[in-house]
């Protein structure tokens, strides 16, 4: 069974052909980072305009790479939210038009459900139940997943998502967009203990909070740069790092705070729910330190950890096809009155 997935929820136009919810035949992504780079973040109007230009070429390439036509498809699965409304409208309108004109069944997939199902693209035998930690630019949540459409949110961010914090800190440091991969790289040459940034553990809760950390980095920069009244102690590593070491230390110390919180909260969820199986997905799951630390925690606690390869962590349409497969099998089809929504709980 072949399903064409489409995702235009944010700044990537993506289309993918997936067989039986797990076997990727093609996965095409047109990235807009170049367009938004100079603004230090996504400009929604520019994103939707670019989706309009790219949706047909990207879908066409996904079909051609898979050597199939619309006639070979069992269904089209489209992401209908959450996300940027203008961006979502492009994917949804396109999918509805093709399904209507070609007589193909349409299924609607929640973007977060896509992230939850992304590990299935490499692990067809991932058994339920499991805990799903989704860490992206728009979301940071932990779910208990008991089966298809059986999701319970155990905790979520109360303010910024972890990826948003990466992007904002990168902007503060003048490093560019998206910030996650840049900070990930710089942190490799920095000292994670150089600056003791706060960790919002929020005792008794599986919620997250990252906006205080972002402010702490801002305050650190303001005071450390003037070397006056600093609330933070800056411990330069010995031997001192080469030029650029200061920024590397900020990157590594910021990242240590984010990763410590994510790992600790996952441990709490494992203990609370007594589930020894965890998936990690979303753009920040591409982070090398987070991947390493979650795997180490899994080994220590004898918990199975499933993390998709980095390109399947960030936004892609294959994950929409993967989740769409379960909708299709359950007969959960969407009508042509399908409307995308910017906010959409799972």
Among 40, 86, 179, 190, binds ligand KG4 (CB under 6 A): 179
- Closest by CA position to 183, among listed 235, 252, 261, 258: 252
Stretch that binds ligand KG4, among 148-156, 178-186, 201-209, 296-304 (CB under 6 A): 178-186
Q: Is 136 in the site for Zn ion (CB under 5 A)?
A: yes
Q: Which is nearer to ligand KG4, 34 or 337 (CB)?
A: 34
Q: Is 283 in the site for ligand KG4 (CB under 6 A)?
A: yes
CB 121 within 8 A of CB 322: yes
Helix axes 162-172, 211-226, angle to 10 degrees: 20
Shortest separation between residue 70's beta carbon and Zn ion, angstroms: 26
- With CB under 5 to 8 Å by kind, the binding choice for 86 among ligand KG4, Zn ion, none is none
How many angstroms from the chain centroid is the CA of residue 194?
28
Q: Which is nearer to Zn ion, 207 or 315 (CB)?
A: 315
Dig out the tokens for 275 from the structure.
Answer: 């589930």
C-alpha–C-alpha distance, residues 285 and 310, integer Å? 7
C-alpha–C-alpha distance, residues 99 and 94, integer Å? 9
Q: Which is nearer to ligand KG4, 63 or 286 (CB)?
A: 286
CB 14 within 8 A of CB 58: yes
C-alpha–C-alpha distance, residues 18 and 109, integer Å? 15
The 145-174 contact track toward ligand KG4, x by CB under 6 A, reads ------------------x--xx-------
Shortest separation between residue 9's beta carbon and ligand KG4, angstroms: 7
Q: Which is nearer to ligand KG4, 75 or 287 (CB)?
A: 287
- Count of residues near Zn ion by CB under 5 A: 2
- With CB under 5 to 8 Å by kind, the binding choice for 190 among ligand KG4, Zn ion, none is none
Dig out the tokens for 80 from the structure.
Answer: 């209908």
Q: Which is nearer to ligand KG4, 96 or 139 (CB)?
A: 139
Rg (CA), the chain: 21
- Helix (H/G/I), strand (E/B), else coil: 297: helix
Each residue of 183-198: b (16+ CB within 10 Å) or e? bbebbeebbbebbebe
Q: Which is nearer to ligand KG4, 183 or 334 (CB)?
A: 183
Stretch that binds Zn ion, among 68-76, 95-103, 145-153, 307-315 (CB under 5 A): 307-315
The 309-328 contact track toward Zn ion, x by CB under 5 A, reads ------x-------------
The 97-136 contact track toward ligand KG4, x by CB under 6 A, reads ---------------------------------------x
CB 76 within 8 A of CB 336: no
CB 135 within 8 A of CB 282: yes
Q: Which is nearer to ligand KG4, 27 or 314 (CB)?
A: 314
Site for ligand KG4 in 10-29 (CB under 6 A): 10
Among 314, 322, 328, 346, binds ligand KG4 (CB under 6 A): 314
CB 318 within 8 A of CB 66: no
Q: Which is nearer to Zn ion, 248 or 314 (CB)?
A: 314
Among 5, 119, 138, 298, binds ligand KG4 (CB under 6 A): 138
How many angstroms from the chain centroid is the CA of residue 20?
23
First to last CA, the chain: 25
C-alpha–C-alpha distance, residues 106 and 255, integer Å? 40
Residues forming contacts to ligand KG4 in the complex (CB under 6 A) are 10, 136-138, 163, 166-167, 178-181, 184, 282-284, 286-287, 314-315
Residues forming contacts to Zn ion in the complex (CB under 5 A) are 136, 315
């Amino acid at each position: 069974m072949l399903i064409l997935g489409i995702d235009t929820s944010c700044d990537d136009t993506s289309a993918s052909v997936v067989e039986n919810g797990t076997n990727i035949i093609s996965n095409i992504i047109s990235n807009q980072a170049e367009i938004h780079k100079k603004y230090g973040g996504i400009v929604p109007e520019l994103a939707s305009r670019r989706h309009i230009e790219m949706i047909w070429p990207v879908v066409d390439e996904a079909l051609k790479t898979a050597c199939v036509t619309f006639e070979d498809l069992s269904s089209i699965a489209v992401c209908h939210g959450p996300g940027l409304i203008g961006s979502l409208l492009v994917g949804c309108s396109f999918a509805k038009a093709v399904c209507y004109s070609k007589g193909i069944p349409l299924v609607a997939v929640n973007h977060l459900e896509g992230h939850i199902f992304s590990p299935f693209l490499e692990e067809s035998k991932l058994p339920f139940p499991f805990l799903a930690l989704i860490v992206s630019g728009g979301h940071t949540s932990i779910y208990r997943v008991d089966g298809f459409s059986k999701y319970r949110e155990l905790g979520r961010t109360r303010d910024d998502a972890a990826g948003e914090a990466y992007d904002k800190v990168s902007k503060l440091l003048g490093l560019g967009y998206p910030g996650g991969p840049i900070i990930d790289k710089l942190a490799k040459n920095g000292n994670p203990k150089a600056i003791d940034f706060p960790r919002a553990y929020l005792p008794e809760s599986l919620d997250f909070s990252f906006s205080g950390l972002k402010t702490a980095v801002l305050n650190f920069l303001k005071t450390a740069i003037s070397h006056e009244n600093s609330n933070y102690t800056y411990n330069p590593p010995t031997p001192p790092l080469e030029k650029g070491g200061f920024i590397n230390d900020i990157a590594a110390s910021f990242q240590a705070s984010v990763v410590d919180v994510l790992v600790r909260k996952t441990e709490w969820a494992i203990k609370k729910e007594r589930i020894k199986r965890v998936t990690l997905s979303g753009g920040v799951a591409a982070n090398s330190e987070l991947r390493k630390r979650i795997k180490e925690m899994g080994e220590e606690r004898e918990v199975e950890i499933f993390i998709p390869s980095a390109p399947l962590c960030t936004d892609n349409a294959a994950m929409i096809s993967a989740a769409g497969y379960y909708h299709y099998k359950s007969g959960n089809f969407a009508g042509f009155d399908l409307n995308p929504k910017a906010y959409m709980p799972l």
